[in-house]
Amino acid sequence: MMAANGILPAINADRLMKDLRRLRQFGAQGNGVVRLALSPVDLEARHWLVERMAEAGLDAAIDGVGTVFGRSRKPGPALLIGSHSDTQPTGGWLDGAMGVIFGLEIARALSECAETSDLAVDVASWIDEEGTFAGYLGSRSFIGEPVEASIRAATSRSGERLEDVLQAAGLRNRPRAQVEPGRHVAYLEPHIEQGGRLEAAGKSIGVVTTIVGIREKRITFTGQRNHAGTTPMAIRRDAGAALIAFAHDLNQIFQRLADADTVWTVGRIELDPGSFSVVPGKAELLLQYRDAKADRLRAMDAALADLVRSVDSAGLIRVHLEDADPPCEPVDMTAALQEHIAVAAEAIKPGQWIRMPSGAGHDAQLIAEKLPSGMLFVPSIGGVSHDFTEDTAEEHIVLGCRIAAAAAVAILRDRQIAKSG
| Segment 234-288, tens digit of pLDDT | 999 999 999 999 999 999 999 999 999 999 999 999 999 999 999 999 999 999 9
pLDDT grade, residue 76 (50/70/90)?
confident
Give the C-alpha separation, 13 to 106, whole Å: 11
For residue 123, give every residue at least 6 positions away whose Cβ sits within 8 Å of its Cβ, in sequence order, or none: 53, 58, 60, 69, 70, 80, 81, 82, 100, 103, 104, 107
Is 213-328 in the same CATH topology as 2-212+330-420? no
33 backbone dihedrals φ, ψ, rounded to 5°: -145, 135
Say what the pTM is: 0.92
Give the C-alpha separation, 407 to 5, whole Å: 8
Beta pairing, strands 120-126 & 68-72 = antiparallel
Closest CA to 207 of 403, 355, 360: 355
Domain boundaries, the chain: 2-212+330-420, 213-328
Determine contact, residues 390/380, Cβ cutoff 8 Å. Answer: yes
Determine contact, residues 82/126, Cβ cutoff 8 Å. Answer: yes
Burial track 176-207 (b if 16+ CB lie within 10 A, e otherwise)? bbebeeebbbbbbbbbbbbbebbbeeebbbbb
pLDDT for 121 beyond 90: yes
CATH class of the domain defined by 213-328? alpha beta
- Report the alpha-carbon angle 320-321-322, nearest 5: 125
Give the C-alpha separation, 68 to 82, whole Å: 10
Fold of 2-212+330-420: Aminopeptidase (3.40.630)
Determine contact, residues 87/29, Cβ cutoff 8 Å. Answer: no
13 backbone dihedrals φ, ψ, rounded to 5°: -60, -40
| Segment 359-412, tens digit of pLDDT | 999 999 999 999 999 999 999 999 999 999 999 999 999 999 999 999 999 999
